[in-house]
Amino acid sequence: MAEIRGIEVVVFDVLGTMVDEPGGLRAAVQEAARLPDPAAADALVALWQQHGEQEQERIRRGQRPYASSEVLDAEAARLVADRAGVTDPGAVARLATAGRRLPPWHDSAAGLERLARQFPVLGLSNAGRTALLHLNAHAGLRWHQALSAEAARAYKPAPEVYRLALDSAGCPPERVLMVAAHAWDLRGAQAAGMRTAYVHRPVGDPPADSDDFDGRFGELGELISALTDGQVASDPS
């Protein structure tokens, strides 16, 4: 049990936390490859995500110069197209922009609007600037400010990405709450001095027993109530 108090600014991860990234990629792959059902695309989605994670890690390690998420998505789209036998250039080009058309979770838009009535709310994403712009419009996510890791030429959990949010917040890190469905993201935020809240999503990275976040919530509404109504956070586990 924990209380989340003393927060001035709330920062949200976007991919996976506010939008269903695997689901959106699955739909795009299914469309491009003309697969009979979504499940048939799962192996191709795994290939896409594996490439993105691998290349982001190479960039973090200094093994590759910084490349935006749109560059990595274009590379992943080509890998998927080659594996699936997609040769139409238009289909491959559309597939490369799948990151702009990820569907929001059912409670994302309304929850964000509710929270934004009482707090400055920022989005902080590894998605590139242009991808993030189109994604927010597609998903109906209305932020006070949306920040792309591209501005830091790095990827979370690199500390310079969280510094983007802290610089915008203009208050001490302990008054800034990072919200994510990924424990690895929250650990990075903790290292930057931010407060942290985990929100469960089907595609997230659950906390380990050793993680000590300020709150763990089974759904977005619980977090928003804890912040706006002063309710006590509950651990769904």
Q: Encode pLDDT of 210-232 as tens digits.
A: 999 999 999 999 999 999 875 33
Going from N- to C-terminal start, the domains of the chain cover 9-20+102-228, 22-100
Q: What distances in angstroms separate CA 157 from CA 166, 176, 184, one per listed residue?
A: 14, 16, 7
The answer to whether 189 and 162 have CB atoms below 8 angstroms apart is yes
* pLDDT at position 38: 76
Tens of pLDDT, residues 9-25: 999 999 999 999 999 99
Interior angle at CA 17, CA 13 and CA 22, nearest 5: 120
Class (C level, CATH) for 22-100: mainly alpha
Give the helix, strand, coil percentages of the chain, each rounded to 5: 50, 15, 35
The answer to whether 220 and 186 have CB atoms below 8 angstroms apart is no
Question: What pTM did the predictor assign?
Answer: 0.93
Q: Using DSSP, state whether 25 is helix, strand or coil.
A: helix
What is 9-20+102-228's CATH topology?
Rossmann fold (3.40.50)
Q: Using DSSP, state whether 75 is helix, strand or coil.
A: helix
